[in-house]
């Protein structure tokens, strides 16, 4: 790899793996040629012809340098190149007389076409050209106006309209997807980032799966997909759906053989009849990147789900017997030790001491000491705040590979209640919180003691990343969503329900109190009006921070004719549209703030 000081490094490598090369699917992609490209490639064999009188002449080297100008000066003329009519072999090594002069294939070669019928056919439709002592074949620019895409992908700039810092240009992902898959097939990208792969797959009718360790990435990708609008492409067989493929544009690929062997070409045909016969008989190249659009229809992203991995804990804690045998506490402890979780907790304690916990607006809870707490199972750290009047803090860490489970909350609190002196703060720190656990932490009322949630940065799972990390944001305080569910008792929406998001409550590290943070930092919120307790199915989605170009407004611009502008405006607010209560009699509101931190509030209809 060259540094900036030495030779500039202008290329990247894309690796393409296949389990079995012979079974690998491949759609050849093509690049449109232009006349200059044609001229550059044909080189000194380039001619220009006036179709009206059939006269032609060679293009000079100077003219070849600026083909655009040449064609402007000779607007009705056509460019053609000449190709050799000879191939290796000796079988058809015979004289062919053209315009009274005999031509003989050079030593060791023979005529490429059938002899003499093929050559006669080329002669009859004026596709032969004498150049020097050779008889050659005339190939027009229109005969093959594309060229196969090879493995040098140049002229691809950086991603435009970036939503993610390290976003891959769509063109690269598009080529990979089009080259190696058919509509309806499944594509996985395990490093989602800004969701370019998912976006490109939506556009090109592929199904997709993507994942990322970063909450910011998932938030950005979700928003990008939800606000996207695409062309509608005509299906090859509409009754079979998208997996039947699209209708694609095609281009002819005229070759010497396709003309010489074309039985429809007869002497005495008119020029346009000849052209039609040539095009009909020539191979057609499918342009997989040019499906036929239906301009009367538009498309948005199909439905997709967002899953939090790892999945909830399978084995309830109370089912683990206290003593003896497999599945006992000892066995569970050993499993924990084996998984390295204890070692991780040591790292997390060190990190907590080093970086503290980041709160709102640059606030930070800092610690003068963070130590293990002997004799407790669900409290993993005993700490003291670094302020004038230090206070005792205990921390309960969630698991390394799972969300903090609801059962951990009472177990940790039970232990905290036995501590002397009593802690002032009980902090639950985890990579993810089970929604019910989060609710219990938010709603527990223990006078004099504040319970907080701190979200842990996924980088803490990767030591190598951690050492290089510049930021100190390993732990963030998670606000409590302040959400109201109300029953409408009058007006045209009488008996419907409505939700209002008032923002995040957060812990003010200076005053030690929970205060309301307002709605200013809510990037997105989603409402499930019939929450089943497991998966959140957003029936209304709001982007309060979106400007005129972002969120739904972006989609509205694409789909102008079909979207209600007033509704778009409402979806920028913090009050839901009135809705019928679902059969679960429970709603869920997920709020994502501008840092990408999510929190879920589940409310029962009273």
Ligand X SMILES: C[S@@+](CC[C@H](N)C(=O)[O-])C[C@H]1O[C@@H](n2cnc3c(N)ncnc32)[C@H](O)[C@@H]1O
Binding site for ligand X (CB under 6 A): 164, 166-168, 190-191, 193-194, 196, 211-214, 217
Cβ nearer to ligand X, comparing 188 with 190 = 190
Instruction: Between 196 and 576, name the residue whose CB sits nearer to ligand X.
Output: 196
Contact 259/283 with Cβ under 8 angstroms?
A: no
DSSP alpha helix (H) spans, 317-407 = 329-339, 341-355
The nearer residue to ligand X, 147 or 458, going by C-beta atoms, is 458
* Min CB(164)–ligand X separation in Å: 4
Q: Which is nearer to ligand X, 227 or 409 (CB)?
A: 227
Q: What is the SS3 assignment for 162?
A: coil
Nearer to ligand X, 86 or 167 (CB): 167
d(CA 534, CA 528): 11
Q: How far is the CB of 175 from ligand X (least distance, A)?
A: 14
Among the listed residues 381, 379, 355, 384, the one whose alpha carbon sits nearest the alpha carbon of residue 367: 384
Alpha carbons 165 and 14: distance in angstroms, whole number? 20
Gap between the Cα atoms of 552 and 227, Å rounded: 5
Task: Give the bridge partners for 84, in sequence order.
Answer: 136
Comparing CA positions, the residue from 480, 472, 473 lying closest to residue 507 is 480
| CA neighbor of 541 nearest in space, from 301, 311, 192 | 301
**Beta carbon of residue 163, minimum distance to ligand X (angstroms, whole number):** 8
Report the residue number, 220 or 429, with the smaller CB distance to ligand X: 220
Is residue 428 exposed (0-12), middle (13-18) or buried (19+ Cβ within 10 Å)?
Answer: buried
Bridge-based pairing state of the strands 450-456 and 425-430: parallel
The distance of closest approach from Cβ of residue 193 to ligand X in the complex, given in angstroms and rounded to an integer, is 2
Closest CB 599 distance from ligand X, rounded Å: 21
Q: How far is CA 437 from the centre of its chain?
A: 32
Q: Which is nearer to ligand X, 196 or 408 (CB)?
A: 196
Nearer to ligand X, 144 or 199 (CB): 199
Q: Tell the smallest beta-carbon distance from residue 226 to ligand X (Å).
A: 16
In this structure, the number of other CB atoms found within 10 A of the CB of residue 269 comes to: 15
CB of 202 to ligand X, least distance (A): 14
Query: What residues contact residue 48 under an 8 Å CB cut-off, 6+ apart?
Result: 56, 57, 59, 70, 74, 77, 78, 79, 80
353 vs 461, beta carbon nearer ligand X: 461
Q: How far is the CB of 140 from ligand X (least distance, A)?
A: 41
In eight-state DSSP terms, residue 299 is E
Cα-based angle 220, 221, 226 (whole degrees, multiple of 5): 105
Shortest Å, Cβ 168 to ligand X: 4
Q: How far is the CB of 463 from ligand X (least distance, A)?
A: 13
CB of 356 to ligand X, least distance (A): 24
Are 42 and 58 in contact by the 8 Å Cβ rule? The answer is no
Measured distance between the N- and C-terminal CA atoms of the chain, rounded to whole angstroms: 65
Choice between 210 and 262, CB closer to ligand X: 210
Shortest gap between Cβ of 217 and ligand X (angstroms)? 4
Residue nearest to ligand X (CB): 193
Which backbone phi and psi does 220 adopt, to 5 degrees?
Answer: -65, -45
Q: Pick the closest to residue 42 from 149, 182, 115, 137 (CA basis).
A: 137
What is the spatial distance between Cα 201 and Cα 204, in angstroms, rounded to a whole number?
5
Give the closest residue to 159 by CA, choosing from 202, 194, 116, 111. 194
């Amino acid at each position: 790899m060259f540094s900036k000081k030495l030779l500039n490094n202008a290329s990247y490598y894309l690796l393409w793996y296949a389990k079995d090369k012979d079974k690998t699917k491949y759609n050849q992609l093509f690049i449109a040629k232009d006349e200059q490209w044609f001229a550059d490639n044909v080189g000194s064999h380039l001619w220009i012809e006036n179709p009206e009188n059939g006269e032609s002449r060679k293009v000079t080297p100077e003219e070849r340098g600026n083909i655009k100008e040449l064609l402007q000066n000779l607007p009705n003329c056509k460019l053609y190149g000449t190709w050799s009519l000879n191939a290796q072999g000796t079988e058809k090594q015979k004289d062919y007389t053209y315009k009274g002069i005999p031509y003989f294939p050079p030593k060791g070669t023979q005529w490429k076409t059938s002899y003499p019928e093929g050559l006669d056919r080329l002669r009859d439709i004026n596709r032969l050209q004498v150049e020097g002592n050779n008889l050659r074949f005339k190939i027009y620019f229109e005969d093959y106006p594309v060229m196969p895409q090879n493995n040098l992908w140049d002229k691809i700039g950086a991603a435009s309209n970036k939503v993610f810092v390290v976003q891959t240009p769509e063109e690269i992902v598009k080529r990979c997807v089009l080259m190696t898959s058919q509509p309806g097939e499944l594509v996985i990208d395990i490093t989602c980032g800004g969701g370019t792969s998912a976006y490109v797959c939506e556009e090109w009718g592929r199904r997709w799966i993507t994942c990322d360790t970063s909450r910011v990435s998932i938030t950005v990708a979700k928003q990008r997909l939800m606000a996207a609008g695409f062309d509608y492409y005509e299906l090859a067989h509409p009754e079979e759906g998208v997996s039947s493929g699209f209708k694609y544009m095609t281009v002819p690929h005229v070759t010497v053989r396709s003309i010489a062997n074309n039985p429809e070409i007869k002497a005495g045909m008119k020029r346009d009849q000849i052209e039609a016969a040539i095009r009909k008989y020539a191979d057609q190249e499918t342009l997989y990147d040019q499906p036929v659009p239906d301009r009367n229809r538009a498309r948005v992203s199909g439905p997709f789900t967002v899953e939090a991995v790892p999945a909830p804990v399978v084995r309830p804690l109370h089912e683990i017997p206290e003593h003896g045998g497999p599945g006992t506490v000892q066995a569970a402890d050993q499993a924990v030790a084996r998984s390295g979780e204890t070692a991780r907790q040591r790292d997390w304690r060190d990190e907590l001491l080093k970086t503290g916990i980041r709160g709102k607006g640059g606030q930070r809870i800092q610690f003068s000491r963070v130590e293990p707490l002997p004799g407790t199972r669900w409290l993993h750290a005993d700490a003291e705040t670094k302020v004038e009047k230090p206070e005792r803090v205990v921390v309960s860490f969630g698991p390394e590979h799972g969300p903090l489970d609801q059962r951990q909350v009472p177990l940790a609190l039970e232990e905290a209640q036995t501590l002397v002196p009593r802690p002032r703060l009980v902090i639950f720190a985890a990579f993810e919180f089970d929604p019910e656990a989060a609710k219990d932490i938010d709603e527990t009322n223990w006078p004099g003691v504040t319970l907080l949630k701190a979200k842990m940065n996924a980088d803490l799972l990767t030591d190598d990343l951690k050492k290089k990390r510049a930021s100190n944001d390993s732990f963030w305080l998670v606000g409590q969503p302040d959400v109201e569910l109300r029953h409408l008792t009058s007006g045209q929406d009488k008996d419907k329900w409505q939700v209002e998001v008032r923002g995040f409550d957060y812990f003010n590290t200076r005053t030690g109190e929970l205060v309301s943070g307002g709605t200013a930092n809510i990037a997105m919120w989603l409402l499930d009006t019939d929450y089943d307790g497991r998966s959140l199915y957003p029936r209304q989605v709001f982007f309060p921070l979106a400007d005129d170009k972002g969120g739904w407004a972006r989609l509205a611009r694409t789909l102008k004719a079909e979207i209600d502008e007033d509704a778009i405006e409402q979806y920028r607010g913090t009050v839901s549209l009135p809705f019928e209560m679902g059969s679960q009699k429970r709603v869920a509101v997920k709020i994502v703030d501008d840092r990408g931190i999510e929190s879920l509030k589940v409310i029962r209809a009273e």
